[in-house]
Amino acid sequence: MLRAAARALAQILSPSFRAVLLKSAGAALALLIVVGVALQRLFAAALERGVAWIEAYLDGAYRWAVDLLELALTVLASLGLVAGMVFLMPAVTALVAGFFADEIAAAVEREHYPCDPPGADLPVISALFEGGRAALLALAVYVCAAPFLLVGGLGAVVFFLATAFLLGREYFDLAAMRFRSPAEAKALRRRHAGQVFFAGLVIAAFATIPLVNLATPLFGAAFMVHMHKRLSESQRPLSLKRCASRETGMILGRRMLTALAAAAALVCSGAEGGAMDALASIPPNLDAPAKELFGARSLPADAMSPRAIGFYAKGCLAGAVALPVDGPTWQVMRLSRNRNWGHPDLIALLERLANKVPEVAGWPGLLIGDIAQPRGGPMLTGHASHQVGLDADVWLSPMPDRILTPQEREDMPPTSVVAPDGKDVDPAVWTSGHGAVIKAAAEEPEVERIFVNAAIKKALCREAAGDRSWLHKVRPYYGHHSHFHIRIRCPKDSPGCTSQPEPPPGDGCGPELDWWFSDAVLHPKPKPKGPERPVKLSDLPSECRQVLIAP
């Protein structure tokens, strides 16, 4: 629990939280001011009426006493108003949390749980209802607890415990309902009522610190995301646990190296600036394997505009955006790889293509495989390309008409549409829908090439009717028997991107295709392999160093 609180505190001032911190603190402060002004005016009106009644009753006598009483009541009201603002702070922050809980939780999930599927945002009405309900419940409990203020310090203890109980409930439910139904979220909270209450004590302690407590929605929501993940640990698939363990090790290792490097730079330079300024002057290791450096980055670079840098098989990606793991007509596979990032143009194309699929092929949607890492670059396993966010693999399996579980997305094998001898497609698997999906992708103007198995190209050449111009984009290549590979052209916003030459003219269905079915290609003789030299950071465009070290 202490670790979860420390992680939440550490992220409050991070770049990913800065904007929402200002918004939530501003909203809480504005709401407090509105309530305070309303109470002040209500009291002033009541005092004015009361004084007028007393003066009329006394018929002008004892004017000095009335003035003294008015002054005393005004001072007491002012002190009471200040105390009331402190009193109302938990209720106000609970209400504000309903507006920002999803934005906060999503940032925590991206930073600390990149292997897990992200939670689903609550409908706005539901989030506001939960926040409003918690605020009203807080006021009701505080009114009931108010008499205890007359019993020495007991009142403060009662208020603190009531605040812990209410805030623990509110923030845990908001975090849990991103992954569960309201009934399931509340049932989980009840099963772990003790731990949730103690977590509420931590949030309540945070809420007692003047000014700092304006950030209570951020701290409370972030803290409870970590708590919900911990209490749900037994339900996580084994593959996600392994991924999370590996990711945590990478993050801790990077943070330790970062801290040591920053400290060394500060000592050597005698600088008075912050550690981040010193760190920015430390160049990355140019001789390190680039796949290890880029594979360790779990998020894209902050505040970098989208740019594909270099060539498809030797470059990196700035300003990447993620394809949502679930869409109306697509689902992302192999979530533990964290490779659903790409240039915005590619992500938009994939969403557009997926939305066409039900009409052109009769499939519910697409299963999307690897796209790129958060910052592109060489990958620890698999592809030589996919480095600049302009390549994507699409499975040749229709999306099921249900949401796949995280475990299914890790374990489900792709289906090969190629016959065992490799000379043609398998008629028991191949359908016209497969051809329609590939054709729809090839007809997208941004698409430069589509790589498929030669047997699939052969089937497309045989079955294509009418306008066959799209076929020249479909190129045969090794493998690709269970997925096809989309590659788009370099975007206009990426002057440092190197495009591939245009495919040869024609539909590619002539003698050049026959070569792929020769015995030398279908049954190649094994070649001795020497030691492979890994791609180093120095082999990539120099801009990739800035992409790598950017916060």
pLDDT tens for 518-529 read 988 898 888 777
Cα–Cα distances (Å) from 510 to 422, 442, 465, 504, 520, in that order, read 18, 19, 16, 12, 19
| 237-243: long-range pairs with CB below 8 Å, 24+ | 237/405, 237/406, 237/407, 237/410, 239/336, 239/406, 239/407, 239/410, 239/411, 240/115, 240/116, 240/335, 240/336, 240/406, 240/410, 242/336, 243/115, 243/336
For residues 300, 302, 308 and 314, what is the CA-based torsion angle, rounded to 10 degrees? -50
What local confidence, expressed as pLDDT, does residue 132 receive?
62
CA pseudo-torsion sign 484, 488, 494, 499: positive
What local confidence, expressed as pLDDT, does residue 28 receive?
56
pTM attached to this predicted model: 0.53
Q: 488: pLDDT confidence band, cut at 50, 70 and 90?
A: very high
Most confident of 52-66, 79-93, 321-335: 321-335
Q: 505: pLDDT confidence band, cut at 50, 70 and 90?
A: confident
Q: 130: pLDDT confidence band, cut at 50, 70 and 90?
A: low
pLDDT tens for 382-394 read 889 999 999 999 9
Through-space distance between the first and last CA atoms of the chain, rounded to whole angstroms:
27
Burial class (CB in 10 A: 0-12, 13-18, 19+), 393: buried
What local confidence, expressed as pLDDT, does residue 282 receive?
43
Cα–Cα distances (Å) from 192 to 79, 196, 230, 413, in that order, read 39, 6, 11, 37
**Higher-scoring residue by pLDDT: 547, 209:** 547
Neighbours of 234 (CB within 10 A): 6
Cβ-contact 395, 366 below 8 angstroms: yes
Residues 6 or more apart in contact with residue 280 via CB below 8 angstroms: 549
Cβ-contact 179, 231 below 8 angstroms: no
Residues 6 or more apart in contact with residue 460 via CB below 8 angstroms: 435, 438, 439, 452, 471, 474
Q: 232: pLDDT confidence band, cut at 50, 70 and 90?
A: confident
Burial class (CB in 10 A: 0-12, 13-18, 19+), 67: exposed
Q: Which residue matches tokens 């505080």?
A: 142
SS (H, E, C) 162-223: HHHHHHHHHHHHHHHCCCCCHHHHHHHHHHCHHHHHHHHHHHHHHHCCCCHHHHHHHHHHHH
Residue 337 C-beta-side C-alpha neighbours within 13 Å: 22
Q: What is the mean pLDDT of the chain?
A: 77
User: Which amino acid is present at 94?
Assistant: A
pLDDT tens for 19-62 read 555 655 565 566 556 666 666 667 666 666 765 666 666 655 55
**150 DSSP assignment:** G
d(CA 169, CA 515) in angstroms, rounded, equals 67
Q: What are phi and psi of 340, to 5 degrees?
A: -100, 35
Greatest pairwise CA separation for the chain in angstroms: 118
Q: What DSSP string runs through 65-97?
A: HHHHHHHHHHHHHHHHHHHHHHHHHHHHHHHHH
Residue 231 has pLDDT above 90, yes or no: no
What local confidence, expressed as pLDDT, does residue 128 receive?
59
**Among 505, 503, 423, 500, which residue's Cα sits nearest to residue 458?**
423
**Among 105, 109, 132, 108, which residue's Cα sits nearest to residue 121?**
105
Structure tokens at 255: 């943070």
**463-474 in b/e burial notation, b at 16+ Cβ within 10 A?**
ebeeeeebbbbb
Residues 6 or more apart in contact with residue 2 via CB below 8 angstroms: none
d(CA 149, CA 162) in angstroms, rounded, equals 13
For residues 426, 427, 429 and 432, what is the CA-based torsion angle, rounded to 10 degrees? 120
Q: 201: pLDDT confidence band, cut at 50, 70 and 90?
A: confident
**Strand pairing partners for 289?**
536
Mean pLDDT lowest among 86-90, 350-354, 409-413, 491-495: 86-90
* Radius of gyration of the chain, Cα coordinates, nearest whole angstrom: 31
Average pLDDT of 539-549?
Answer: 91
Cβ-contact 215, 12 below 8 angstroms: yes
**Among 161, 169, 159, 171, which residue's Cα sits nearest to residue 216?**
171
Residue 88 has pLDDT above 60, yes or no: no
d(CA 133, CA 102) in angstroms, rounded, equals 17
Most confident of 90-94, 361-365, 512-516: 361-365
User: Which amino acid is present at 430?
Assistant: W
| β pairing state of 366-368 and 330-332 | parallel
d(CA 528, CA 508) in angstroms, rounded, equals 32
Average pLDDT of 65-89?
Answer: 56
What local confidence, expressed as pLDDT, does residue 15 receive?
56
Residue 325 has pLDDT above 90, yes or no: yes
What local confidence, expressed as pLDDT, does residue 161 receive?
80
